[in-house]
Structure 1
C-alpha cells in the first residue's frame, strides 16, 4: 500500500535502489543506483534544502515572513523553493548562467524569483553569482542566505538520512559508495555514516569531471552541471566548501565529459532511467570501480537528479552534436586533422607576443582565450573571450595606434563562430554567414582547431 503524507515535505527521502543490470552486465560485483531523482523536487538536494531550512528556523536565522536566498546550479534552489514556499517564505534563487533553461522554468513554477549571474569570473568579482546573492541578502530585511557550500546542515542531512537508507537497503552489504562532489555535502554525510556503520570497511569514491580541481585537475571548465570545482585563472583565494570533508573520500575517479554525457544517455536507453549528466559521471565512475571488484563486493552509486532538467542539453542530439560530443560519419573530422594543431592567443598577451604567435597561423586568425600557464585538457569553448587577427594588429602598429608592448585590449575581435566536429561542412558554412572568414571546431566542448572558409567547400 502506498504511503500517505500530510505534506510533500514528508515525502523527501526514502528513495529506492535499482540494480544496473544492463550497464553492469559482465561485472562480478553488482552495481545498484540510488534514485535520488525520485525525491519530490526531482533531486538529492531536497534533503539538504529541508535540513538547512529547519536548522535556520531552529537557530533563529529564518523567521516568519523572511526571505530565503541562495546561489545554485538549480537543484538546491528547487528544493529550497518547495520547502520555503510550503513554509511561507519568499525564495530568491541565484542561478548560474550556464545552468539549463529548464531549471529556471522549474524554479519559477515553484514560486521562486530567479536571478541569473555568472560563475565564469573570479570568485572575488562583484559580478560572481555568490557575490550577487550576498549583496541581495544584505539589502533585503529578514533575508537568510542558505549558503549550501558552507552550511553544515547540508552534510548532516545525509548523515541522518541517505547513509542509513543505503546501509539498510543493502542489508549492510555495501562495500563501495560512489557519488559526485559538488558542495561535498552528499558524499561527506553519506560516506561518513557508511564508514562508521561498517567499521571503516566501506570505500567512498568521488566521481569528478576530469578537469575539476577536486580530483586533481586544473580547474578549467567542463560540461557536466552541479559537480566539480572550477578555478578561474584570476581567482585570488581558492576556497573549498566547508560542507566537504575530504577525509570522508578515499579516492576519486576522474571522468571526461564525453564519457559522462554518453553514460547518462545510456542510462535512459538501456536501463530506463532518465537522469542528468552528473548521474552519468557517477555511473561511469561506479562501473570503473566495479570492474576491479569481485562477487563479494556491492557498489552503490547515487544518481542526483532527473534528466528532465536537461532535455535541451545532454538528452538533445542537436546540442550534443553542436558541442562536439556526437559524431555521425566523418563530419569535420578529416578537415580538422588536416588543419594542423590549434594555436590560441592569451587574452592578456601584448601585441608583440600575439603577432609572434600568429606568425605561422593559416589565415592569420586565432581564438583569444583566458590565460593559463598550462592547458592539459585543451581550450574549453567557454574560455574563448574573442579573436585575434594578424592583419588588424599589423594595421594598428603601422598607424601608431599601439606599440608592440601594449596589451591587446581593445584590439580583440569578436569570438569566432563554433561548430561541433560531428557537423557537416554545409552546417559550418551556414554558421559562418557572410561576415566571418573562419570557424572554430569543437571536440567534447573544447576548441580543437580553426577552419578557414575556403576549406569548407
Structure 2
C-alpha cells in the first residue's frame, strides 16, 4: 500500500501509555503522539482542513498566496500543503519563537517575517496585524486566521476526537490539552462529550495568558497579560475556536515548570516532545488529586522536540533564565570560589602611559576601559605594544585612541563550558554583573582555580 501524496498520511497518530512521569497518578495516562504527522505536529490536521474548506468556498484560488500569523506549527502544515497544491506562503511570527521553527518554515519555501512579541495584538507591528495588512496588499491571497477560523476545531471534531474515542474503546474520562487557538480541545472535546457528557476537558494555560481568569470570572482582564516564554499555549485575546462552555477548567503552569517537564518527557518516557507537552504534563500533575484509579486520561503531545533544541533542550538557555541549577560550574560559582577582589579599570580619558603604569604596578595584562562608569572597551599589553611600535609618542594620547571592543558579558547562570568557549586568543576574559550590580571580571586563571577548588 502507498499514499498518493504526503497529505494522506496526516492523522491516525498513536496513543502511548506514560509510566515513569505519572507514577504518582493513580489513573491511566495516555499520550496522543501528534509528532508522527508529516509536519511533526497536530496542526497538520487543521491546516489541511482550513485549506480544503477555503478551496470549496472559493476564498483560496489556484496559484494563490497563503498568509498567516503562526508560531510555526500551523505554518508547517500550511507550507507542506502549499507545496503539494501549488500555493505560495508568507508567515508572520513572533521573536519569542525558536529559530528551529522559523528555519523549518523556510525549508519549505515559505517567506517568514519575525515581529515583536511584547506589543498589543492591535499594534501595527504585531504578527496578527502584519499578516492582516499583507493579505490586503497581496493580490490573490487568503489568510486562514487559525484563531477564529472554525475549520480549525472542525478538523479535530472530525479526526482527533473520533481517533481518541476509538483508541481508548470509549474509556476516556479526561482530555488534557495545552490551549492556544483552542481548536484541539474544543473540536475533539465536542465530539467526545457528545459520546459521553461526563468526560472532563482540562485546558492548560500559562501565566501571562487570559484564558483561566476569563473561564472563571467572564472577565477579559488586561492586567493578566504579560510576556511569557512557554510556546504554543495561552493568548492575550479570546480566539473564537476556544469554546469556554465546553472546557471544564483551566490550569496555569509556570514557564519554568513547563520547560523542565518538557525535558523530563524525553528523559523518562523516551518521547521527544515540544514545550506544550511539558506544560500539559506539569498541569496534569498539579491536578492529580482530582483523578481516580479507574480514570483514563489522554494528554495531547502537540509537536516535536527538534523545534526547541535552542531553548528547552539547551542547558545554557535554561540557566540564563534561572530555570536550571545543577552541579556544573557557572559564572556565579566561579566568583564564589575565589577571593573577593576589586576589578581594576581605567577611564577612556586617561593617557596610554597611565594605563601602562597601572598594568605594571598591578602585574596585570589587560584592563577594562570605562566611560562615565560604564565598561566600553578594553586595553591589553598587545594593544599597547602594537600602538607604541607604530607611534612611540602615543603614550600621551587618550586610552580611547587604542582601546578595542569590550570583553564579552555573560550572565551569572552561564555555564563554565560557555565561558571557556568565549575565552580565547581574542578574548582573555569575560565580564559578569553580580547580584549587587557590581561588574566582575573572570579570567582563564579564575576558571582553573574554580575547577581545582
Q: TM-score scaled to structure 2, two decimals?
A: 0.73
Which of 419, 439, 444 is 1:453 aligned to?
A: 439
CA distance in 2, matches of 1:103, 1:289: 31
CA distance in 2, matches of 1:6, 1:454: 62
Which of 214, 217, 223 is 2:229 aligned to?
A: 223
Instruction: List aligned pairs for 1:59-78, cutoff 5 A.
Output: 59-78=57-76
1:266 partner SS: helix
CA 1:291/1:89 → structure 2, altered by over 3 Å: closer, same or farther? same
CA distance in 1, matches of 2:231, 2:412: 20
Contact 1:158/1:190 (<8 A) preserved: yes
Contact 1:34/1:301 (<8 A) preserved: yes
Contact 1:67/1:144 (<8 A) preserved: yes
**Map of 1:211 onto structure 2:** 208
1:69 partner SS: strand
**Map of 2:402 onto structure 1:** none
Which of 433, 442, 451 is 1:439 aligned to?
A: 433
Q: Which runs of 5+ in 1 are unaligned?
A: 231-238, 337-389, 393-415, 441-448
Q: CA deviation at 1:66?
A: 0.6
Q: Which runs of 5+ in 2 are unaligned?
A: 214-222, 336-371, 375-407, 447-453
2:280 partner SS: helix
Q: CA deviation at 1:88?
A: 0.8
**Map of 1:284 onto structure 2:** 282
Contact 1:148/1:154 (<8 A) preserved: yes
CA distance in 1, matches of 2:15, 2:45: 17
Contact 2:412/2:432 (<8 A) preserved: no
**Map of 1:160 onto structure 2:** 158
1:451 partner SS: coil
Q: CA deviation at 1:333?
A: 7.3
Residues 1:99 and 2:97 aligned together: yes
CA distance in 2, matches of 1:175, 1:261: 27
Instruction: List aligned pairs for 1:191-270, cutoff 5 A.
Output: 191-198=189-196, 200-216=197-213, 218-230=224-236, 239-270=237-268
Instruction: List aligned pairs for 1:273-312, cutoff 5 A.
Output: 273-312=271-310
Contact 1:259/1:281 (<8 A) preserved: yes
Q: TM-score scaled to structure 1, two decimals?
A: 0.73
- CA-based RMSD: 3.0
CA 1:325/1:129 → structure 2, altered by over 3 Å: closer, same or farther? same
CA distance in 2, matches of 1:218, 1:333: 33
Q: CA deviation at 1:451?
A: 2.9
CA distance in 1, matches of 2:168, 2:277: 20
CA 1:417/1:194 → structure 2, altered by over 3 Å: closer, same or farther? farther
CA distance in 1, matches of 2:84, 2:284: 36
2:437 partner SS: strand
2:290 partner SS: coil
Q: C-alpha deviations, 1:25-50, integer Å up to 9, x for none? A: 24320100000111110101001100
1:68 partner SS: strand
**Map of 1:419 onto structure 2:** 411
CA 1:275/1:314 → structure 2, altered by over 3 Å: closer, same or farther? same
2:211 partner SS: coil
1:315 partner SS: coil
- Which one has the largest radius of gyration? 2
Q: CA deviation at 1:437?
A: 9.1
CA 1:292/1:136 → structure 2, altered by over 3 Å: closer, same or farther? same
CA distance in 2, matches of 1:63, 1:152: 20
